Amino acid sequence: MTEFLIAPSILSADFARLGEEVDNVLKAGADVVHFDVMDNHYVPNLTIGPMVCKALRDYGITAPIDVHLMVKPVDRLIPDFAKAGASIITFHPEASEHIDRTLQLIRDNGCKAGLVLNPATPLSYLDHVMDKLDVILLMSVNPGFGGQSFIPSTLDKLRLVKQRIDDSPYDIRLQIDGGVKTDNIGEIAAAGADMFVAGSAIFNQPDYKVVIDEMRKELAK
Ligand code: DX5
Ligand code: ZN
């Protein structure tokens, strides 16, 4: 059976106490730290960069850090994030001049690589790079902010991508990001996702373990 991974998006964490927040959410049962990087150019918001990733490593965070780059241009941040301790780096293909080169650059820097498709971005971006992907991330909201509602058409898109992965010889994670909650995570998993980003659903609750346990219960159904 597929191992389901829960990846809290720290965008909804309390940034004034970030190390402690990440520690707490991992102790509550999270698998991966989802690290949203926004540049006020590719998306209309501004967040955190490699220094903060390194600060989390220095604080003692050893779990995988999944860096979701919502930046343009992409390439020059990749070596910096790799040095700062990133484990996975994903980017939006429209933000890269040379998608194949960027994917290779991520792997050459020792990280797992992935493409992120926005709700209206076509699947054709996957056509010639499946062999260079460790992760495909489907956005189920338009990127830029936490706390938005899941866009239902993403479920069909998930099924299509899941089929592509199953038809390929590659071992590729299918990640979903945006509006994931305890009440929809079951149908999202049924559509093919195996890695779930959730920001507001986890960090807006007082007890992270309660939410993560509920998510796992839904995933076990
Ligand atoms: C949106 C980010 C997401 C976001 C998810 O651009 O990529 O990771 O923080 O937040 P929720 O789970 O609140 O939709
Ligand atoms: Zn994200």
| Whole-angstrom distance, CA of residue 42 vs CA of residue 33 | 22
Tell whether 145 is in a known binding site: yes
Q: Give the pTM.
A: 0.98
Ligand number nearest to the C-alpha of 9: 1
What is the domain partition of the chain in residue ranges? 5-220
Q: Could you tell me how many residues make up the chain?
A: 221
Per-residue model confidence (pLDDT) at position 2: 76
* Distance from residue 199's CA to the centre of ligand 2 (Å): 9
7 vs 64: CA distance, rounded Å: 9
Which CATH number is 5-220's, of 3.20.20.70, 3.40.50.720, 3.40.50.170, 3.40.50.1000?
3.20.20.70
Q: What percent of the chain has pLDDT over 70?
A: 100
Q: In the predicted model, what is the mean pLDDT of residues 62-89?
A: 98
Going from the Cα of 168 to the center of ligand 2, the distance in angstroms, rounded, reads: 25
Residue 1 has pLDDT above 90, yes or no: no
Q: Is the CB of 177 under 6 A from ligand 1?
A: yes
CA–CA separation, 39 and 128 (whole Å): 28
* Cα–Cα distance, 117 to 174 (Å, whole number): 11
